[in-house]
Amino acid sequence: MAELRGVLVFLLSVGAAAAVWPQPQFLSVATEGGCRLSARRFRFAYADSSAVGPGCDVLDQAFRRYWALLFSVARNDSETARSEDACSELLVSVTKPECDGYPSLDTPENYKLTVSDEQMLLTAYTVWGALRGLETFSQLAWRNDDGTFCINKTDVVDFPRFPHRGLLLDTSRHYLPLKAILETLDAMAYNKLNVFHWHIVDDPSFPYESIMFPDLSWKGAYHPATHVYTVSDVKTVIEHARLRGIRVIPEFDTPGHTQSWGPGTPGLLTPCYAGLSPTGSYGPVNPILNATYQFMAKFFAEVSAVFPDFYIHLGGDEVDFSCWKSNPEIQTFMQKMGFGQDYAKLESFYIQRLMDIVSAYVKSYVVWQEVFDNGVKLKPDTLIHVWKENAGPYQEEMACVTKAGYRALLSAPWYLNHISYGQDWLAVYQVEPLAFEGSAEQKALVIGGEACMWGEYVDVTNLTPRLWPRAGAVAERLWSNQTVRNLEDAYMRLVDFRCVLLRRGIRAEPLFTGYCDYEYTAF
């Protein structure tokens, strides 16, 4: 970090090109030529060659958003004087004629952007790739001293290094208002992150308002009216995300982390015992009752219908076996099944049945690494989410998961709820997801990773500044080429991008001393 202490702030000079975050795969910016952008004349438009056109809601709405982002701080007096020599439009051409669907794990996000003296053209195979190109274009535009916006002659050829670039939010330990989630989705799009992992329920509260089982939130949320996500809220999140090319993967973690499920579903959790007497407390989901699986079948049928993504996160981590061990009925079941005293086998028994239920709804699943570690029989398309760092080097787990032929997601070094004084983004940025011993075939099974923001000490008051721009360090690692490693260059671009976030209303914290032309103000 010493080499960065002398770098205070990166200022854009007249004629300079703006920085881009995350760094594109190929970027060539000329020092001369290009276009002046006038708020009075400029527009986004569909090229004649595009397979989609007006009426494509994904791009129609994106055009309006990015026009506002570009010219939100334009000086109208200068615009008038300069408008006659301004470039009038960015033409967008999309090859695949689809606009009304959802992005998926296999969705191409590649795009090309060309800015010359004669034309500005953005081409992409899908509308989702076009969204990434629009974000790059918006960052390449820079403001001159006279208040006008310019963009240099530029060639960009870009695509993500990994297809799964996610962010986890925990909305159980502290309820996050809908507005905060939508703002986070906006910031994710600015960083080209494409998966919102919604850890929606956990032990402390059950804020998901179920259609089929309303008592889950009525009795399990912090407050059944003010601290819940209604059916309308969930639809709003999914659609807001879709329009930004972001997938929504919900997590309903079982059999542990389920204390909030109990009040609304009597009999679901395991009664704990002291000797032969129940204590009145409850442990994980009771895995020996048919009623448990009948409930899960109905509940996950609803979840599968509400959330359109192919994947559901089933959790499966940190199961405390002490209550199961105390329960005489479970002890009897263990002996009957030949499990002995290996309660990991009982957990696997439950997880196996749950996965069979979810598979019946033409869905697949993501699971935390314990499910793999415990030897559960998994479908080939299962995603193993590696999160443990203290139990052993996460690199060893990545090697084991991929050696077994499963695809892996990495989160272990990217728990952004952990903070420290100073530039802790550096440690996040320097992680290399493929830095483990394994073959090229194994490393091809790493499909990306996620930054995680757990909610024990995070609510709406500190969510955004704790996330940004630190989560951007993860975003660049997952998008940009593996060779993008220069810390000083990254620092300068991230400082500049942090100023972009402030201008867009995102309360991103500073990396070090300095200032932005536009400082965030709450009023």
- Sequence-ordered list of residues with C-beta below 8 angstroms from that of 198, at least 6 positions apart, any chain: 168, 169, 171, 237, 248, 249, 250, 251
Contact 203, 318 (CB under 8 A): no
Contact 474, 428 (CB under 8 A): yes
d(CA 404, CA 386): 14
**Cβ burial 206-222 (10 Å sphere, 16+ → b, else e):** bbbbbeebeebbbbbbb
For residue 36, list its beta bridge partners. Answer: 150
For the record, the structure tokens of 258 come out as: 């389920």
Length of the chain: 523
Least Cα distance to 134 among 82, 60, 184 occurs for: 60
Contact 369, 381 (CB under 8 A): no
For the record, the structure tokens of 430 come out as: 């320097």
Contact 24, 156 (CB under 8 A): yes
For the record, the structure tokens of 151 come out as: 């963009």
Residue 449: what are its φ and ψ, rounded to 5°? -170, -175
Which position among 318, 329, 437, 488 bears the catalytic label?
A: 318
318 is catalytic: yes
Least Cα distance to 90 among 128, 42, 54 occurs for: 42
Nearest 5°: the CA angle 203, 408, 315 is 15
β-strand 277-285 against 269-274: which pairing, if any?
A: antiparallel
Q: Which residues are catalytic?
A: 318
